[in-house]
Structure 1
Amino acid sequence: MTPFRIGLVVNPVAGLGGRVGLKGSDGVGVQERARALGAVPRAGARASAALTELRARGVEFELLTAGGPMGVDGGRAVHSPTGDVTSAADTVAAVRALRAAGAGLLLFAGGDGTARDVHDALAPDGAEVPVLGIPTGVKMHSAVFAVNPRAAGEVAAAYVRDAGGVRLRRAEVMDRDEAALREGRVTARLHGWLNVPHVPTRVQQRKTGSAVVDPEAVGGLAAELAERVAELSPALSGAPPGRDCPSPDDAVRGRVVAGRAVPRAPSALVLGPGTTTQGIAAALGADVSPTGVSVLAVEGRSASVVAPDATGDELLELARERAVLIALSPIGGQGFLLGRGNQQIGPELIRAVGAERLALVASEAKLAALGGRPLLLDSGDAALDAALSGYRPVLTGRGTCTMYRITT
């Protein structure tokens, strides 16, 4: 009996621009700049992680793949890229070759741009072939991705074991204009649909646009974060009266954090991307992009921008010099806190700052829109994600919070 055939194609440059703050990896120029800034490819490693999980689940299959950097070891290559530098045309050609070779499930490691290329390769008559994305890019707003590489292996195993028992659903392929994104404008369009194995909680939702944020709620969040940044100063002591939500430093202010003395340099507020955090910055009098990671110096109820588009290395240097509070807001509709559009805030930074210095912020409406689904982590570090999982307070205003479940 012929074993089930799984096809795999890797976009080797997917996610290259994330940690270095380039907001995407489309285009040779962007990829060259990312490498010059010290970016390291991670698509192959994340694809291998998915395959490791798939094989650990004991299903029998034959792996078909592309050659060179577009594939992984242990598979039968049915296509070879035309050169050392791969392109969208290589992805399209590889997907078509995998389909022609009889792949019954197509896995791809990449981001939204890769999903668009896969869609184009299968259109119009091949869109019925089941597809699943191994999240490797910067944004991944499409609904065709597993929530993390291990989940991709879980879903693939479930489909191979019992394809008739895992139904397919039409999932949106969304892609943003990266040139506009780098100018601070968020524009996206629906590119089409792909059929994806439907395993709830293991396949992500598509990103939904954020509604207009309540100015009162944002103002309250801004005031709360400003107070918490002020509390990081070793010159201050004691928690403000009437606090209902635990402050990251109520227990350690003025003493030792993560085994080291609290720095004496002025404290800083690091804002992850999003319209909620952009609104918080505006409430403090600062103008930031909704798509980058920004660093603010806060004084009282006002702030100034220290770094408008900080890279991972810049954030690490900042954490060595001063006390830092990191504010993260989940992606609307998806619920991701880490691993989607904010790779600059990586595991090394979180360990340097301390998990107690992560402030999670969201309006009550944004949390309600998740319908009880948990907030998600995909930092690339399984141990850190496990340590951050559980119930944690999410700030919803000044002095108000909701305990909410976080998982991988």
Structure 2
Amino acid sequence: MKSFQTVSETPNKPSLRLGLLINPYAGVGGPLALKGSDSLPAAVRNSLHAQVASSDAPAQQRVAQFLQALATEPLSLQWVSVDGPLGGAVLAQAGLRFEAVSVAVEQPSTAADTQALACAIAAAGVDLLIFAGGDGTARDICDAIGMRLPVLGLPAGVKMHSGVFAINPQAAATVVADLQQGRWVALDTAEVRDIDEAALQKGRVIAKHFGEMRVPIAANQLQQVKCSGLEVEALVVAEIAADVTESMPSGQLYALGPGTTVAAVAAALGVANTLLGFDLVRDGALVLADATAEDLWQHAQRESLRVIITPTGGQGSLIGRGNQQLTATLLQKIGRDALQVLATPAKLTALSGRPLRLDTHNVELDRAWSGLWPITTGYQQAALYSVSG
């Protein structure tokens, strides 16, 4: 990306005018083993209406964490949003005043509501639009306002391949604080990407380019665009799979997570694989396909559960992108040692020293689990790699 504008220091540090838009359904598809809120059936969307409007909904929690991080600095901010779960409710709960735009929102809300609200906020004259959602939400906003207004995404969805998201709500707060305090922040273009549904039907996970938006860039605060993994070394992946399958003890229950590297483990076991989900296996046999968060929790309540995952290529996200079935509650119960991470040396090298990222929606857990993790990188080969919240 080429930096084409900067925000320089100002002596009086004027108020920053921020828009807030929330996709209240963002993230609910992960625990349900769906591949994003875009594909929620109408009946499911209707049944979840009350839940997603509450402060316990994933997107609402992410915004609350962002606002809490902002509260630690003396900032002069003005907010523009809409009444209700698409923004105003969480601002009001935090005790923040906001200018409400006049947009009639359907209940339950749809992509058309997201686009209408984005346009209304842009017309209200804000400096930056903060949105909480995933790639589907980013696509809707991109379709509505394109490059007209800088945006910054709070990662709250199941799919987050785009480069418009901060690495977590705290990082987004750092960007906003830097902007308001007059620190040097670049304004760049970033890709909006989403899963290619046609390729997914053929068993390939490819993030397709859908457009670009402008984002404020502070060092190490935005996630990298996810690579498709086309360069994965098949032989190394096969060696990793052989190492994993040979070391599986009899009777142990495993949850095989998303990604092509873990899919190679399923192939070596001879079991079906859910490329963007979790499958439970024991002794080389499939126990449950495409398990939900509740499925994993129920099994972990009854017996020992081990989890095998791989980070996203290029982006380096370990937990929190596409594997929200791994809730913070589940992770705290099974413990860090119950997780086995698989990655080829090429995938780790491509990170250029950046740590693998934890985003469990629990700041304390992210902090406690940060450090050097063993990563299975080949047959009877492992590396220590930095993991950070």
Q: In the alignment, what sits opposite 1:24? A: 36
Q: In the alignment, what sits opposite 1:325? A: 306
> Aligned match of 1:344 in 321, 325, 328?
325
Q: Tell me, yes or no, if structure 1 residue 142 matches structure 2 residue 142.
A: no
Q: In the alignment, what sits opposite 1:42? A: 58
State the alpha-carbon separation in 2 of the partners of residues 340 and 24 from structure 1: 11
Cα distance, 1:200 vs structure 2: 2.6
State the alpha-carbon separation in 2 of the partners of residues 354 and 34 from structure 1: 35
Cα distance, 1:397 vs structure 2: 1.5
Q: In the alignment, what sits opposite 1:197? A: 216
For 1:154, give the aligned amino acid: T
Q: Tell me, yes or no, if structure 1 residue 104 matches structure 2 residue 120.
A: no
Q: Is the 8 A contact 2:161 2:207 kept in 1?
A: no
Q: In the alignment, what sits opposite 2:272? A: 287
Aligned to 2:304, what secondary structure does the other structure show? strand
State the alpha-carbon separation in 2 of the partners of residues 180 and 316 from structure 1: 31
State the alpha-carbon separation in 2 of the partners of residues 323 and 180 from structure 1: 35
Q: In the alignment, what sits opposite 2:315? A: 334
Percentage of identical aligned residues = 41
TM-superposition CA deviations, 1:335-377 (whole Å, max 9, x none): 0110000000111211222211111110111111111111000
> Aligned match of 1:155 in 175, 178, 184?
175
Cα distance, 1:293 vs structure 2: 1.1
State the alpha-carbon separation in 1 of the partners of residues 102 and 268 from structure 2: 53
Q: In the alignment, what sits opposite 2:27? A: 15
- Structure of higher CA gyration radius: 1
Cα distance, 1:68 vs structure 2: 1.0
Distance 1:190 1:3, change over 3 A: same
Cα distance, 1:226 vs structure 2: 2.8
Cα distance, 1:198 vs structure 2: 1.0
Q: In the alignment, what sits opposite 1:61? A: 77
Distance 1:358 1:34, change over 3 A: farther
Alignment of 1:385-404 (within 5 A): 385-404=366-385
For 1:62, give the aligned amino acid: Q
TM-score computed with the length of structure 2 as normaliser? 0.88
Q: In the alignment, what sits opposite 1:366? A: 347
Q: Is the 8 A contact 1:184 1:291 kept in 2?
A: no
State the alpha-carbon separation in 2 of the partners of residues 212 and 132 from structure 1: 30
Q: Is the 8 A contact 1:17 1:31 kept in 2?
A: no
For 1:224, give the aligned amino acid: D
TM-superposition CA deviations, 1:259-308 (whole Å, max 9, x none): xxxxxxx211211100110112112222313211111213xxxx222222
Distance 1:34 1:221, change over 3 A: farther
Distance 1:223 1:180, change over 3 A: closer
> Aligned match of 1:377 in 347, 358, 377?
358
TM-superposition CA deviations, 1:63-86 (whole Å, max 9, x none): 111221111322221234333211
State the alpha-carbon separation in 2 of the partners of residues 82 and 182 from structure 1: 33
Distance 1:96 1:170, change over 3 A: same
State the alpha-carbon separation in 2 of the partners of residues 25 and 222 from structure 1: 31
Q: What are the ranges of 5 or more consecutive residues in structure 1 without an aligned counterpart?
A: 234-265
Q: Is the 8 A contact 2:245 2:268 kept in 1?
A: no
> Aligned match of 2:263 in 278, 290, 293?
278
What is the Cα-based RMSD across aligned positions, in Å?
Answer: 2.4
State the alpha-carbon separation in 2 of the partners of residues 4 and 324 from structure 1: 47
For 1:271, give the aligned amino acid: L
Count of residues in correspondence between the two structures = 366
For 2:108, give the aligned amino acid: V
Q: In the alignment, what sits opposite 1:116? A: 139
TM-superposition CA deviations, 1:307-334 (whole Å, max 9, x none): 2200011111212233222111000011
